[in-house]
Amino acid sequence: MYSETVELNHLMRTPGEWLRGTGPHAEIVMSSRIRLARNLKAYRFPHWATKRELAQVRHNAERAAAQSPHIVTAVTLHLENLSFVDRQMLVERHLISREHAEGQVAERAVVIGDQEMIAVMVNEEDHLRVQVLRSGLSLKEAWAIAEELDEQLERHLVYAFSSQWGYLTCCPTNVGTGVRASAMLHLPCLVMTKQIGRVLHAMTKLGLTARGLYGEGTESTGNFFQISNQVSLGFGEAEIVDKLELLVGQVVEQERNARESVMRGTREALEDRIWRAYGTLKSAHIITSQETTDLLSLVRLGVDVGTLPTLSRSVVNALLVTTQPAHLQKLEGRALASHERDVRRAELLRNQLATSGGE
């Protein structure tokens, strides 16, 4: 238990690679994610398995992961050893799902690779949920890593696989390749110009799903949208990834056009909003998570369009995560009531932005 807290505290100190704000189209695509759902043939799906079976799954999964060159420097965390806040912190870092944090299944774990680029959830809905997360529009790159990792794991694990259906998963929407690919997009100007509804509708018609910052069931905040493929049955992996990369590229182009149009038409007014948002973040003494995300969204746009040239995108990206409730509580080392968090959050923002230039 002690070592896991140490590991977690260590993890907190540096933001994950996906927050670096680099990679293709990083001014619009925050991150790209590949997720594989895999199950072990010898055991029942987590929701039907006994604690003993789940313990075996975890043991086998961890042993297999430890042998993958991709996750040599991995951190392994058993969720029963983590506090509520610790688990929420992992959700805020996009390392585990909300279901995994809150779930009732025993013997849950997560194996986290170097710079948080890889995360393997054990005993979530499926025995294994392998995630590769990269900054920018890097779906193909992420897929290449996921594929290698998958092969490395399969050397030590026997997957549940049907020659007819492909990889078997708990939820039918994952059966087949078991692949879900997604990209987190920052689309402030499609929102401002009221084109976002049309764009998301078009995505849905093409078989994609749009969600908020924290995945399924969450509203979009701060103009962040997670776009992912909807079904995995009947398509090849590379095909799924290619298709998503292509479509995301089109959305990127539309946001880029919207930014140009806004900058052409109402540059002054937009820049005023950006500066005011920045001023508020640097001045407030009480600020909610929602307002923070909304203002950081404007500030991030300000970095991208050149209004705030000395502020870095990675600082803004990191603040989107470190201003979240669990991160604030970890930083403080104790539970904080909602109002206390609003005060600490404002303090953190003032400190971080004061030392990050941007004038």
Stretch touching a copy of itself by CB under 8 A, among 37-45, 50-58, 98-106, 275-283: 275-283
- Cα–Cα distance for residue pair 19/176, rounded to 1 Å: 31
Strand-pair partners of 185 = 29, 225
User: Nearest approach, Cβ of 286 to a copy of itself (angstroms)?
Assistant: 4
Strand 166-167 relative to strand 161-162, pairing: antiparallel
Q: Is 278 in the site for a copy of itself (CB under 8 A)?
A: yes
Q: In this chain, which of 155, 194, 205, 285 binds a copy of itself, going by CB under 8 A?
A: 285
- Judged by beta carbon, residue 200 or residue 281, the one nearer a copy of itself is 281
Q: In this chain, which of 108, 211, 282, 345 binds a copy of itself, going by CB under 8 A?
A: 282
Q: In this chain, which of 144, 288, 343, 356 binds a copy of itself, going by CB under 8 A?
A: 343
Q: Is 280 in the site for a copy of itself (CB under 8 A)?
A: yes
Residues contacting 164, CB < 8 A, separation 6+? none
7 and 79 in contact (C-beta within 8 Å)?
A: no
User: Nearest approach, Cβ of 271 to a copy of itself (angstroms)?
Assistant: 6
Q: Is 276 in the site for a copy of itself (CB under 8 A)?
A: yes
> Residue 135: helix, strand or coil by DSSP?
strand
Stretch touching a copy of itself by CB under 8 A, among 19-27, 29-37, 82-90, 279-287: 279-287
Q: In this chain, which of 269, 335, 351, 357 binds a copy of itself, going by CB under 8 A?
A: 269
Number of residues that this document lists for the chain: 359
- Cα–Cα distance for residue pair 277/295, rounded to 1 Å: 5
Strand 109-112 relative to strand 166-167, pairing: unpaired
User: Nearest approach, Cβ of 278 to a copy of itself (angstroms)?
Assistant: 6
Residue 188 is encoded by which pair of tokens? 């402030």
User: Nearest approach, Cβ of 299 to a copy of itself (angstroms)?
Assistant: 11
Stretch touching a copy of itself by CB under 8 A, among 8-16, 84-92, 139-147, 271-279: 271-279
- Judged by beta carbon, residue 236 or residue 279, the one nearer a copy of itself is 279
> Residue 228: helix, strand or coil by DSSP?
strand
Q: Is 25 in the site for a copy of itself (CB under 8 A)?
A: no
Q: In this chain, which of 8, 49, 191, 284 binds a copy of itself, going by CB under 8 A?
A: 284
Q: Is 102 in the site for a copy of itself (CB under 8 A)?
A: no
Stretch touching a copy of itself by CB under 8 A, among 28-36, 59-67, 103-111, 277-285: 277-285
User: Nearest approach, Cβ of 277 to a copy of itself (angstroms)?
Assistant: 8
- Judged by beta carbon, residue 161 or residue 275, the one nearer a copy of itself is 275
Count other Cβ atoms within 10 Å, centred on residue 224. 22
How far CA 354 is from CA of 2, 219, 346, 350, in Å, comes to 34, 30, 12, 6
- Judged by beta carbon, residue 106 or residue 343, the one nearer a copy of itself is 343
User: Nearest approach, Cβ of 283 to a copy of itself (angstroms)?
Assistant: 3
Helix, strand, coil share (%) of the chain residues, nearest 5: 55, 15, 30
- Cα–Cα distance for residue pair 225/212, rounded to 1 Å: 5
Most distant CA atoms of the chain, gap in Å: 64
The whole-angstrom distance between residue 137's C-alpha and the CA centroid of its chain comes to 13
Stretch touching a copy of itself by CB under 8 A, among 7-15, 75-83, 257-265, 269-277: 269-277
Side chain identity at residue 146, one-letter code: A
Angle at 137 between CA 275 and CA 294, to 5 degrees: 30
174 and 126 in contact (C-beta within 8 Å)?
A: yes
# residues near a copy of itself by CB under 8 A:
16
Instruction: Return residues touching a copy of itself (CB under 8 A).
Output: 268-269, 271-272, 275-276, 278-280, 282-286, 343, 346
